[in-house]
Structure 1
Amino acid sequence: MSQTNQTRVTEFILLGLSEDNQTELLLFVLVLGVYLVTVLGNLLLISLVLTDSSLHTPMYFFLCNLSTADLFFSTNIVPQALVHMLSKRKVISFIGCAAQLLLFLIFGCTQCALLAVMSYDRYLAICDPMHYSLIMTGRLCCLLALGCWTSGFLVSIVDTTFILHLPYQGDNKIAHFFCEAPAILAVSSGDTRSTQMAIFLMGVVILLAPVSLILVSYGSIIVTVIRMKTTSGRLKAFSTCGSHLLVVILFYGSGIMTYMTPKSSKEQGKLVSVFYAVVNPMLNPLIYSLRNKDVKKALGNVEMYFPS
């Protein structure tokens, strides 16, 4: 027992994205730029939704929650990754790694649920506009948002508990730039089959179930749009849903590739992780801002109050 206690891992070494110092320096500049745009973009979108009365609708309420989750999701990972890119020894304590894993799962799983709820909101707005305001009340919106955050917390607790329950002795080098579940499992000294099954089942709950709801919602939306008699009505409906659908494809595509498909190479896994952990949180506010007339109008109102 004493030998086991002595050899138990108390810290991990994150190998990062590259072993070459010049490549790491270049990545530092690129990732820092992406992170700054992520923070500014999401904070701007949150501020617009909170301050502009024209954006006080269910759609933008959920978008505000999504941007909040994006902001914390990225901040949980990127700042430490940036520090490690300039460090020779990329060390993170066992407790720090556990905390990063837990927060990563909370915010990531919450985004999954929020994107599904947003698709349901678009379904009601387009397929049942007469009853939309009666169904999507402020109380229901708050309950749905609370349900999204709660589901993210519960799923993350289950996954994190299974992962941390495994023994970690000897090997402490994680071939990744942050503490992600598949990378941590790779260095465990115990049998990971039950943990992998638990993660897969949680993936079905938080990834495949919301995707199914999104597919049903958008199937109904497409049928409704096709039946519209006017071209302007079709264009308005597609412009309303286009931004959300693009975000769904980017986020769920990378998430399913990581957690619901057979194991890929370590380099390919890291590349996918860079996309959804670093790049995707930056793209969301840009996509919604550039493709949405309401957000553009709100930005215009800001410019009127603060002329250059």
Structure 2
Amino acid sequence: MPTSLGTLLRNAFFQCRARLRPFLIGVVLFGSLVAIVNVVASKRIEGHIWQGMQRLGIDQSRMMELQEQLQSGDEGAVEGAMNEMNTTMGGIDGMSDEDREALFRREGIVLVLRVLPVMTAGLFVLGVLTILSGAYFLCFALGKGKEPTEILNNALFLFLPLLGVWVWSFLRSFVWIPIFGIIPAIILMPRFALAPVILASQKKGVTASVTESYRKTRGYWGRIAGNLAVAGLIFMLVSWGVSLVTIPVALQSKVLSIWIQAVVQQATVGYTAVFLVLLTKTILENAQPQVKSGKKAKA
């Protein structure tokens, strides 16, 4: 009989605690890298926005001063900010409709052209870190290495195959949407959930791992979907709670707030990887053997 959800959650916690050092190193390492990417990208985007505001006639130094006053609780800063905006908008309102429309169109295009590359690069790097982080914690959960450096080395070799599994699972789940809608994706996604663990533990290929996951999960869709949904809800509540707690921190240090949230996010990624490995093991151990149809040979 498959292990219950409560037991899986408890065992995942104990496994993380039993090997706390490589777990925490992975959490801090990838959390810090994610935070750095987020901070750099947000700073660059913020800089481009300020440049656009300056071109519209808004005094950046004055607005920064008012922002600091607002953070310190100065209610008069609100009125000052409104006056600055009214002064700027007054100049814009004095333009003709054609000039004003041309100004906003030009500044909008400039902003998009400058921000889009930053966002694209940031999303690409975050995607790479997400896959590498998933590979690291998957290797951690499977015991592929005792030291963090050994686990990371194994994760690097797993990077491309894991990417392939995610892409192939995504395509097999969502390719049917234009024809049949979202229902097939909802049905198929849990059937492919075990593929990353099968890939890493059984050394199968990308397509073979996805196919094996689909085959072994026959009759377990409800259990897999339910377990993942409940676990996901728990992690979402934890992240939401951390976001609330870090609001006062964000008022003092935006960078520190981003770092804390990124580290907590990576902790949930690591815990999820361990949980998924345990879930995969219990499903595979209880999977019904496939009976091949055919004529029985005569004695």
Structure whose residues are more often helix by fraction = 2
Larger radius of gyration: 2
Provide TM-score, normalisation by structure 1.
0.24
Provide TM-score, normalisation by structure 2.
0.25
